[in-house]
Structure 1
Amino acid sequence: MNSKKRENKNRDILLEIIAISFLAMGGIFVKASQLSPLNTGFYRVLFSLPLLFPFAYKQLQALTRKDCLILLLSGVFLAGDIGLWNLSFSYTSVANANLLTNLTPLTVVPVAYVLFKEKIPKYFPIGVLITFLGLFVLLGGKVQANSEGYFGDFLAFLASIFYGGFLLISYKLRDRIGSHAIMFVSGIGSSITLFILANMESFQVPKTTADFLPILGLTICLQVVGHNLLAFCQGKLNVTLSSVICLFQAVIATIYSFFIFGETISTKEIIGMVIVMVGVFTVKAQFASPKTKAEAPI
């Protein structure tokens, strides 16, 4: 079955940038959480389900049993991403975690080429290389040269593989399923998986305001707004373009650290941001496609 063509409109690119702006807040809330990383991830997803249900209700009625099983599986991939990403903050910097967990093109591009027959434009690799160069320039001065730092970097990179799996599954289903239904059903799969993992660690129950606030921040900013809006964009943007735009998350996280934590942004980091933007727009130029009448469901 061929996938519907994505138009890659500037409006939808802007929406995805807004989505990752919310996702970039994740490190702030995870570090502020009083609960363990896996418990924090579990409650983040669990609390999102009643918020998503009113929006997903009508879309859920159109799902087949096979659709539900596939979405539950995608939730397992998302749980792997959330759990590993949360754990990585205990060992490495917010900047490095945001960089490495968004290396999804390494997973998405080759798999999309094989499974979905997505064409790789001639100059697409150049745009990707420019983007990665900018990211490494941006974060080059923040690498922790110790075993814990490298372990955290490794966890964040593993998270990118799991997130790539989630993106590929949701991308395929976005041809005919709305983003609200995708996030709700996959959220059930994620919450079950994270509940099991949290119990293996040490299950905790939030009791105080200090316990709840970071989790609510994660729920609203990441699960309800960020991932939901990103899933919507999966129906509008080419999967390879979408995965590269996600690399902006590391740039945005650096900006947040400047305003929230008072971290100084060096000249080298500013140069890195500019290079990242050049790389992303180079990639965008390779995906200009003719308009199609068919639109993916909202």
Structure 2
Amino acid sequence: MNKYSISYLAIIIGVISVSTAAVLVKLASEVPSAVTANYRLLFAAIILLPYILLKRRDELKKLAKREWILTIVAGISLAIHYIVWFESFQYTSVASSTVIVTLQPIFAFIGTYLFFHERFSAGTVISMLIAIFGGVIITWGDFQIAGEALYGDFLALLGALFITIYFLLGQGVRTKVSVMSYTFIAYSIGALAIIIYNISVSNPLTGYDSNEWLIFLCLAVVPTILGLNLLNWALKWVSTSVISMGILFEPIGASLLAYIILNELITWSQWLGGTIVIFGLLLFIASTRRKRKMKITIDHS
């Protein structure tokens, strides 16, 4: 098997890995969302710590004050993303939440337009409108089911916004520091921020059963460490557009797992809206491919 075949296999395993995040969070539904988010980031940072100390310690010492500030703010944004996205599963389905949070590339492109003056092409605008229309269908269908489902959709959309802030802040830092060092700092800062939040709202940090601790560990290992690293490794051999398109299948994988494990049915509006969103995002990636190399990371998953 050549390196390109191995790369595509890595992408498939990576997408399956990140698709498990939503179901794992749902399985820990008795745990406050902020606590689940806290241990996902904390355990991921602890797992990365030996590698950082052995291989990247000097790199961290060379970081300038500006890079530290940007990374700290990015870590706090990541923490907020996880809190609101995990909380969305208390109100809406895995299918709706994962599709809506996948709208992140559109937020990212709007951000680059506002801050880096990147121009929109006609194809980009049309593809964004298609994806947004799909999101409207999902939220309209959820509103017909229950008002609280619409609130869950709003939290997922808020999660997409904050993960975009995390990505935009990280753009400048990533040119000067490796992905492992950057994510380690962001995870550590994010975990610290959520610990402070949990203490302030009196969420218990202990007293959970062994199954819940196993879920926390699985969240750190499978979608975070394994999924992220496989997709980043594949970037050595395939284009960022291929990775981006692969990640768009995360909502499909998450919805199938939710159906198999949680018996969570998918409504017609989620099927239709989700299909339109993914189609719109595929067009969006294709339309921006020639303008710039667009890297969609998967830290939200």
- Report the TM-score when normalising by structure 1: 0.77
> Hey, what does 1:74 align to over in structure 2?
74
> Hey, what does 1:52 align to over in structure 2?
48
CA spacing shift, 1:242–1:283, aligned 2, 3 Å: farther
Q: Find the aligned partners of 1:167 and 1:283 in 2 and give their Cα distance.
A: 18
Matched letter for residue 179 of structure 2: S
> Hey, what does 1:213 align to over in structure 2?
214
> Hey, what does 2:177 align to over in structure 1?
177
| Secondary structure at the counterpart of residue 92 of structure 2 | coil
> Hey, what does 2:33 align to over in structure 1?
37
Q: Find the aligned partners of 2:284 and 2:24 in 1 and give their Cα distance.
A: 31
Contact 2:138 2:273 survives alignment (8 Å):
yes
Q: Find the aligned partners of 1:217 and 1:190 in 2 and give their Cα distance.
A: 18
> Hey, what does 1:62 align to over in structure 2?
59
Report matched runs for 1:130-209 at 5 Å: 130-134=130-134, 141-143=141-143, 145-201=145-201, 202-209=203-210
Using the TM superposition, give the Cα deviation of residue 139 of structure 1 relative to its aligned residue in structure 2, in angstroms: 7.7
Report matched runs for 1:14-29 at 5 Å: 19-29=14-24
| Secondary structure at the counterpart of residue 206 of structure 2 | coil
CA spacing shift, 1:286–1:16, aligned 2, 3 Å: farther
Contact 2:103 2:131 survives alignment (8 Å):
no
- CA RMSD between the two structures: 3.7
Unaligned runs of 5+ in 1: 1-8, 293-298
Using the TM superposition, give the Cα deviation of residue 45 of structure 1 relative to its aligned residue in structure 2, in angstroms: 0.9
More helix by share: 2
Q: Which string of whole-angstrom CA distances, capped at 9 and with x for unpartnered residues, describes residues 98-141 of structure 1?
A: 12323324432122123234343331122233334455667875
| Secondary structure at the counterpart of residue 61 of structure 1 | helix
Contact 2:78 2:166 survives alignment (8 Å):
yes
Q: Find the aligned partners of 2:108 and 2:18 in 1 and give their Cα distance.
A: 19
CA spacing shift, 1:232–1:151, aligned 2, 3 Å: farther
Q: Find the aligned partners of 1:283 and 1:12 in 2 and give their Cα distance.
A: 23
Using the TM superposition, give the Cα deviation of residue 13 of structure 1 relative to its aligned residue in structure 2, in angstroms: 9.5
Contact 1:92 1:144 survives alignment (8 Å):
no
Matched letter for residue 46 of structure 2: P
Q: Find the aligned partners of 2:260 and 2:235 in 1 and give their Cα distance.
A: 30
Q: Find the aligned partners of 2:131 and 2:245 in 1 and give their Cα distance.
A: 8
Answering whether residue 261 of structure 2 is matched by residue 260 of structure 1, we say yes
> Hey, what does 1:6 align to over in structure 2?
none
Contact 2:142 2:150 survives alignment (8 Å):
no
> Hey, what does 2:124 align to over in structure 1?
124
Q: Find the aligned partners of 1:145 and 1:273 in 2 and give their Cα distance.
A: 17
Contact 2:40 2:219 survives alignment (8 Å):
yes
Q: Which string of whole-angstrom CA distances, capped at 9 and with x for unpartnered residues, describes residues 225-275 of structure 1?
A: 34556677899748xx98887554333322222333345667876666654
Using the TM superposition, give the Cα deviation of residue 86 of structure 1 relative to its aligned residue in structure 2, in angstroms: 1.3
Amino-acid identity (%): 24
